[in-house]
Structure 1
Amino acid sequence: MTELESLAGYALDRAKIEDTVAAFVLALDARDIQGAVGRLAERVTWNYESVTGRPSAEVSPGELAARWHATIVHTDASQHFLSLPHIRVDGDRARCVVHARVEVRLSNPGGSPSTSTNGTYTFGLVRAGHGWRIDSVTMVLLWNDGNSRIMELAAEKGARE
């Protein structure tokens, strides 16, 4: 393989990885849970320990879909802001690290209607056919602002409906 072919292959992989990550978070914000799940591998290591205190766990896309159906779909809105992707490809594996700010809104009688989680996401990806699937998500929290109970309140709202 020539250097030019190698660079072209990396550029194509990079574009596909960025597209996979963007499609995943855009689907979540649009409440398109199936669209988000469609970007995932068969098993996903989910690590939000720095945000929730719960340890990292390997879960299925179906388990994540159930979580999102119980929480995020019951919020008024969410928006994931991701920037500055740092991507490394090693054969059929890749890693994409981005700055992240996640805003979630939910009108509620218990305080502020919004929360903001700020940190970095590290997405692990595995090559799947001509594209990529996310097989790990790690959020490293830098700081939170607002009502830290928003997702808990959304789950309570969902349980009532």
Structure 2
Amino acid sequence: MAISTRDHLDIVATCTRMAWHADRREWDELADVFADEVLVDYTSLNGGEPAVLAPADIVTAWTAALGGFDATQHLLTNHLVSGGDDEAVCTAAFQASHHLSDPLGSSAWVLGGTYRFDLVRTGAGWRIRGVVMTATWATGNKDLLAKAAAR
């Protein structure tokens, strides 16, 4: 069965809210976009293995990783949505800008690539149960990530 227009819009909005709440440091609202367990895969950037995390664990990790930046902006575009009754996949291109004043290097690190969101319909609406970020390019000062985390 094809995704309805209403579900398509709700799915795209759920994925967009993930980026929006992270950039605005709205941690409680960020947790609300996720299902009870989420497969998180940022291995294209960090190596390691994907992990299954609770929303509170994601918020804790992202607070540490993103909260130390002066500003971030995660843009999602070109959403492609597929699926059926209670499950969906949304893929989107992204560009993520990270800014931190750094007297010894560039104050910006910009990353681009794709996200794959696996979603499930719950009683509260569509929730993300899987996030796979695939970085395909970057520019600027990647050292800002470690510096922001240390703040």
Q: TM-score range by the shorter chain?
A: over 0.9
4+ aligned runs moved over 4 Å, structure 1? none
Query: In the aligned structure 2, how far is the partner of 1:32 from the partner of 1:50?
Result: 26
Q: How does 1:2-151 map to 2 (within 5 A)?
A: 10-129=4-123, 131-151=125-145
Query: In the aligned structure 2, how far is the partner of 1:44 from the partner of 1:107?
Result: 33
Contact 1:92 1:127 (C-alpha < 8 Å) held by counterparts: yes
Query: In the aligned structure 1, how far is the partner of 2:61 from the partner of 2:150?
Result: 13
Larger radius of gyration: 1
Contact 1:10 1:89 (C-alpha < 8 Å) held by counterparts: no
Query: In the aligned structure 2, how far is the partner of 1:31 from the partner of 1:80?
Result: 12
Q: Which runs of 5+ in 1 are unaligned?
A: 1-5
Deviation at 1:145, TM superposition (A): 0.7
TM-score by length of 2: 0.94
Flag the structure with higher helix content.
1
Q: Mark the CA change 1:57 to 1:110 in structure 2 (over 3 Å): closer, same or farther.
A: farther
Contact 1:46 1:56 (C-alpha < 8 Å) held by counterparts: yes
> Over aligned residue pairs, what C-alpha RMSD do you find?
1.5
Pairs aligned (count): 151
Contact 1:46 1:136 (C-alpha < 8 Å) held by counterparts: yes
Q: Which runs of 5+ in 2 are unaligned?
A: none
Query: In the aligned structure 1, how far is the partner of 2:96 from the partner of 2:78?
Result: 15
Percent identity over the alignment?
A: 30
Relative contact order, higher structure (CA 8 A, sep 6+): 2
Query: In the aligned structure 2, how far is the partner of 1:110 from the partner of 1:97?
Result: 36
Query: In the aligned structure 2, how far is the partner of 1:94 from the partner of 1:102?
Result: 24
